[in-house]
Structure 1
């Protein structure tokens, strides 16, 4: 079992995701809508524990 390093830095609507190898992806989040560079997917947070995702 290996120890994994993960970190997240927020700069307003921009979120940078880091792993032990460096920058892994970035996300733009505006209100309930977000877009992730690695998954290239749009996501909308819905009420409660639900969300809607559209893959590209």
Structure 2
């Protein structure tokens, strides 16, 4: 496996994630809560190294 390029740009609560192919996903983070466009999952940061994640519903 070769060298991978990844970059992250923050604009307030909006975070843009880039790879060598371009924009890969975006995230909205407000306080401890965040939502990712690629995983379509809600995440809440808990105290310490813990977090809670709710995946998108599978219909």
TM-score where L is the length of structure 2: 0.92
How far the C-alpha of 1:30 sits from its partner, in A, is 0.0
Higher strand share: 1
* Superposed structure 1 runs of 4+ greater than 3 Å apart: none
Number of matched residues? 56
Unaligned runs of 5+ in 1: none
Unaligned runs of 5+ in 2: none
Superposed CA RMSD in Å reads 1.3
1:11-46, Cα deviation, whole Å (9 max, x unpaired): 000000000000000000000000000000000000
